[in-house]
């Protein structure tokens, strides 16, 4: 299988040229026209490499692309996204460059290198029949318009392979589930100097609730519940009639995510006369280790066959679309994309020498999943 690595190393100049094409087409998630332009560029590149055009799936004005390859029922879902967090104009300050074996540019690590790897990996297969490639355009927003599409395509597949980037090369066997909440507090205004006792201070109620929420985590299980942004009051001399704060919850296990959700919705006011409104809930289910381990072992064996360095694993707190595929029961392996670092940051970068070997691993893994139960 070592020849596959050499084949893809020989194709590296073409792969890098394709990557420059994607990186230099800016695609911030919040800019629908930019996402649509990017989808056209991705579709053109994929059509050339895969020999077929994708289906455009537009939901609420946002463009996703789907390739269902061959005539066989879909067995393997390859999943990526073409939107980024970088605003239009970022190329002026963060241009596409390759220096000393390191590639830079907005979105190169998260995750346009992963997309190019997916195209070249599938193109290198003896047969791609049974592969579905889904490229979404809203992952950085939490996948509000693509979640149903992702779950639909993952259903019934033997595996979902997620081309999110890999910090230091480790594959992601666990991702925490993500929950988001907004707690709204209603009190009563009064003059802070003349008659504060007539008011119901929403700031004080918010303080009680923030302290209560901060106690819902469980460090021993990796569960975090973190109050984040908050607002309260109107003027310095008015007892606040309203307040609100946001909460970010993360959990490794479904049971923990549900425990926190139940506790959040069971919060009650401390101050007499105050009222609470609790909005939100789980956004992404956890990607639990049991959904990834068998695929990781299979990938590790293939890496050895290819003569690659032994694979490593990691558990992370951030979510991806792999949370959704695992959440419906499809075995999922995440972090198969670029090796590098700096996601969403000024030092975003990709290690060029790792692109061909990791693309070869992806090709071998897809082929193995197509051939074997």
- Residue 191: how many other CB atoms lie within 10 Å: 12
Q: Which one of the listed residues 18, 20, 26, 83 is annotated catalytic?
A: 83
d(CA 34, CA 114) in angstroms, rounded, equals 19
Note the pLDDT of residue 168: 84
Q: What is the pLDDT of residues 164-195, one digit of tens each?
A: 999 789 999 999 999 999 999 999 999 999 99
- CA nearest 156: which of 39, 334, 325? 325
Name the fold adopted by 2-175+286-371. Answer: Aminopeptidase (3.40.630)
The bridge status of strand 166-167 relative to strand 339-341 is parallel
- Does 281 score more than 70 pLDDT? yes
**Domain parsing of the chain, residue ranges:** 2-175+286-371, 177-284
Q: Which one of the listed residues 139, 140, 256, 261 is annotated catalytic?
A: 139
Name the fold adopted by 177-284. Answer: Alpha-Beta Plaits (3.30.70)
- Does 2 score more than 70 pLDDT? no
The bridge status of strand 349-351 relative to strand 102-104 is antiparallel
**Strand partners for 259:** none
Q: Cβ-count burial of 342 within 10 angstroms (0-12 exposed, 13-18 middle, 19+ buried)?
A: middle
Q: What is the pLDDT of residues 299-335, one digit of tens each?
A: 999 999 999 999 999 999 888 999 999 999 999 999 9
262-265: Cβ within 8 A, 24+ apart: 263/216, 264/179, 264/181, 264/213, 264/216, 264/225
Across the range 231-256, mean pLDDT stands at 97
d(CA 69, CA 76) in angstroms, rounded, equals 10
User: b/e per residue, 70-88, with b = 16+ CB within 10 A?
Assistant: eeeebbbbbbbbbbbbbee
Per the annotation, the verdict on 40 as an active-site residue is no
What is the pLDDT of the chain when averaged over all its residues?
A: 96
Q: What is the pLDDT of residues 97-125, one digit of tens each?
A: 999 999 999 999 999 999 999 999 999 99
Question: Which tokens is 134 given?
Answer: 């889904």
d(CA 203, CA 211) in angstroms, rounded, equals 12
Show Cβ contacts of residue 178 under 8 Å, excluding neighbours closer than 6 positions: 142, 248, 249, 250, 282, 283, 284, 319, 323
Q: Cβ-count burial of 247 within 10 angstroms (0-12 exposed, 13-18 middle, 19+ buried)?
A: buried
Distances (CA, A) of 69 to 105, 163, 371: 30, 18, 15
Per the annotation, the verdict on 139 as an active-site residue is yes
The answer to whether residues 299 and 361 touch, using CB atoms and an 8 Å cutoff, is yes
Q: What is the pLDDT of residues 120-156, one digit of tens each?
A: 999 999 999 999 999 999 999 999 999 999 999 999 9
Q: What is the pLDDT of residues 325-354, one digit of tens each?
A: 999 999 999 999 999 999 899 999 999 999
Q: Cβ-count burial of 340 within 10 angstroms (0-12 exposed, 13-18 middle, 19+ buried)?
A: buried
d(CA 135, CA 117) in angstroms, rounded, equals 13
């Amino acid at each position: 299988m070592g020849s596959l690595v050499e084949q893809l190393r020989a194709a590296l100049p073409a792969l890098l040229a394709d990557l420059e094409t994607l990186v230099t087409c800016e695609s911030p998630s919040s800019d629908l026209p930019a996402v649509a332009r990017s989808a056209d560029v991705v579709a053109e590149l994929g059509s050339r490499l895969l020999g077929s055009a994708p289906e455009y799936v537009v939901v609420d004005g946002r463009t996703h692309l789907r390739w269902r390859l061959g005539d066989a029922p879909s067995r393997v879902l390859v999943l990526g996204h073409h939107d980024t967090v970088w605003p239009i104009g970022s190329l002026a300050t963060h241009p596409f460059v390759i220096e000393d074996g390191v590639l830079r540019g907005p979105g190169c690590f998260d995750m346009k290198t992963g997309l190019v790897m997916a195209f070249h990996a599938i193109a290198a297969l003896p047969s791609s029949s049974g592969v579905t490639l889904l490229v979404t355009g809203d992952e950085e927003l939490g996948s509000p318009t693509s979640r149903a599409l992702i779950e639909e395509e993952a259903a019934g597949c033997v595996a979902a392979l997620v081309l999110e980037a890999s910090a230091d090369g480790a594959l992601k066997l666990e991702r925490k589930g993500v929950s988001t909440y907004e707690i709204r507090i209603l009190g009563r205004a009064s003059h802070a100097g003349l008659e504060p006792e007539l008011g119901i201070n929403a700031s004080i109620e918010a303080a009680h609730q923030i302290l209560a929420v901060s106690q819902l985590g469980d460090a021993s299980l990796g569960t975090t519940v973190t109050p984040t942004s908050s607002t309260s009051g109107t003027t310095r001399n008015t007892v606040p009639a309203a307040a609100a704060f946001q909460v970010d919850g993360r959990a490794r296990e479904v049971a923990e995510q549900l425990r926190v959700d139940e506790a959040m919705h069971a919060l009650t006011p401390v101050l007499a006369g105050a009222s609470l409104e609790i909005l939100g809930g789980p956004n992404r289910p956890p990607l639990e280790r049991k959904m990834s381990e068998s695929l990781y072992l299979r990938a590790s064996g293939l890496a050895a066959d290819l003569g690659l360095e032994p694979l490593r694993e990691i558990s992370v707190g951030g979510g991806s679309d792999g949370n959704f595929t695992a959440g419906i029961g499809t075995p999922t392996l995440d972090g198969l994309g670029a090796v590098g670092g700096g996601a969403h940051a000024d030092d975003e970068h990709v290690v060029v020498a790792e692109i061909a070997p990791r693309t070869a691993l992806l090709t071998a893994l897809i082929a193995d999943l197509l051939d074997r139960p």
